[in-house]
Structure formats: structure tokens, C-alpha cells
Amino acid sequence: MADRSVLLVTHTGRPEALEAGHEAVALLTAAGLEVRVLAAEADDAVGAGAVAVDPGPEAADGCELVIVLGGDGTILRGAELARPTGTPILGVNLGHVGFLAEAERDDLTFTVDRVVERRYEVEERMTLDVVVRLGAEVIATNWALNEASVEKASRERMLDVVAEIDGRALSRWGCDGVVMATPTGSTAYAFSAGGPVVWPDLEALLIVPISAHALFARALVVAPSSELAVTIQPRTAGAVLWCDGRRTVDLPPSARVEVRRGAEPVRLARLHRPPFTDRLVAKFALPVEGWRGARYERPGTT
């Protein structure tokens, strides 16, 4: 058995991901690392030369890294496997934006070399702990790296909710939903709903109403120690809680969704640390023509 192990998670529904997975397995095993893959993926080309494991909380136990080949959705799936053991995640982007990814498909050989040489750093990202109550009863618990969103299940219906911060009522909204996000999630669903971009090294929580019919319906940024809550009003049916767009809980009338800073962070492996501004520009293809650099002196200045 190899002294070093990694867990490889791949978007097997895409041919280019299978090709990348096969290449990654070959490179890593040639360097002497054990490569684990999920049992459901072991029959694909990505499983050649790899060890199949069950997709449970111990899948990444003893691994140095969880290497994810795919877009942000696949990286969020990798986070579910990595979080129980605190294993860092290294994402290789095969999607469109890939905000959580650290490398691109064309850099796969370079990425594997850095993994083999242990030339990477690890940073922690805030998560959310989510509790759903109905009266005094806890009916569900969950967590999220990006966001917990309360949404309407049917297009023709509107949600009637009361938002709360730190035990005090904020506002009642007739809306399509409410997003409660981390800084990591500020560039995901919260951004699409009109929320601000928050730098990932800033600790904060966001609450963003979606299409709210109210005088005050602005996105808010609050302290990381704050507790957020959204209560479904008694006559409102058809609400659902989504955590990272992957895990759902049906919300009955009068359900209360409580969100606070997560007890367990998610750890991301970084090969380099460019300014977050550069990542924004690259991922969103922002126009920066005409910028001359921070040291450019305007005419007439000294």
C-alpha cells in the first residue's frame, strides 16, 4: 500500500472529465501515490489503476487531498466528502466559471507535479450550520459552504416570510426566496440574486432577498457571529430549503430556518495566491482595458 493517498472525484457525465481523470490517475500512480475513486466511478476509465471506495464520510480518511475534476457543482460534491475528515480540496476546473477551482484543465500535469512535491498551501473557508425547527422540534439539520436558500417550490406561488437577525425581526417579505451565504458563496447564488461580492478572507454572513415585494429589500452583510433566521408564515405552503444547491429539505408552514457560522470549515488547497481581484476579472471576464497599473502617474502629478 502506498504511503500517500488522494481521493479523486470526477464529473463522469462529461467525456473530457473522464479523459482528465484517466490522465490524473496515471500521473499520480506513476509518482507512487494511491488514488482512490468512488465506487460508482470505478467502472469508468477514471478508475483504471485506482482503488474503489464507498462514498461515505470515511472516503477521504487518511488522504492528503481530495482532487476534484469538474465545475463548482462537482467541487461542492467533493466538499461533502472532504469535510468529515478535514481533508483539503484541490479543484481543477472543467466547467464554465469555476470560482472554487484552483487550476484549469490545461494545467493538469503542472497541478499533479505540485501535489506530488507537496507544493501547495491550505486555507480555511467559512461554512454555515443550518437548523430547521417546527415549533420546539428540530426537524432537520444541514450545512453549506456557499449558501442556504429558502425558496418557493412552485413558480406561481410567492413565499411569505419574516427575516430575523440576532433574535430581532428585520422585515417581512413576499418574495421568491431568501439566500443566506458565506463570503465564498457571495459569487454564486447570492451574486445572481443581487448581493455584493465579498472577499473570501473577510469573515461575514450575507442575507439576500430574492425578488421581494417590499420597501426595504436590500442585501445585508452582517457579522460572522450573527445568527440569521427565516420563518415561513403559517399560511405559506410549498417552501423548500436548498443547501449549496445539492441537499434539500421540504419546509412546512411555520417552519423556521436558522443559520449561523459553521463549526467545521472547508479547507481549500491553493497552488498560488493571486489577488482576489485578479480572480474576479478572470472568472467574470471583466473589461480592464486602459488600466495602466497602480504605479501609473497621471499627467500633472508628481
3 flagged as catalytic: no
- Nearest alpha-carbon partner for 150 in 92, 189, 110: 189
> With the CA atoms of 75, 150, 203 and 216 taken in that order, what torsion angle do they form, in degrees rounded to the nearest 10?
140
| Structural domains of the chain, count | 2
C-alpha cell at 91: 479543484
Residue range of the domain that includes 63: 5-125
Q: What pTM did the predictor assign?
A: 0.90
Residue for cell digits 498560488? 272
**197, 191 contact by CB (below 8 A):** yes
**Domain presence at residue 297:** no
CATH of the domain at 242: 2.60.200.30
Assess whether 171 and 72 both reside in one domain.
no
Residue 107 has pLDDT above 80, yes or no: yes
Please identify, among 63, 92, 125, the residue that sits at the C-terminal boundary of a domain.
125
Q: Is 68 exposed, middle or buried, given 0-12, 13-18 or 19+ CB atoms closer than 10 A?
A: buried
Active-site residue among 72, 113, 201, 244?
72
- Give the pLDDT confidence of 238-252 residue by residue, as tens digits: 999 999 999 999 999
- The DSSP call for residue 44 is S
For residues 250-268, average pLDDT: 97
Give the integer Cα–Cα distance in Å for 254 and 235. Answer: 8
Q: What residue type is 250 in one-letter code?
A: D
Please identify, among 92, 125, 158, the residue that sits at the C-terminal boundary of a domain.
125
Assess whether 99 and 187 both reside in one domain.
no
CA dihedral for 7, 13, 16, 19, sign (positive or negative): positive
Assess whether 71 and 137 both reside in one domain.
no
- Give the pLDDT confidence of 1-53 residue by residue, as tens digits: 578 999 999 987 778 888 899 999 999 999 999 999 998 877 665 666 889 99
Q: Is 118 exposed, middle or buried, given 0-12, 13-18 or 19+ CB atoms closer than 10 A?
A: exposed
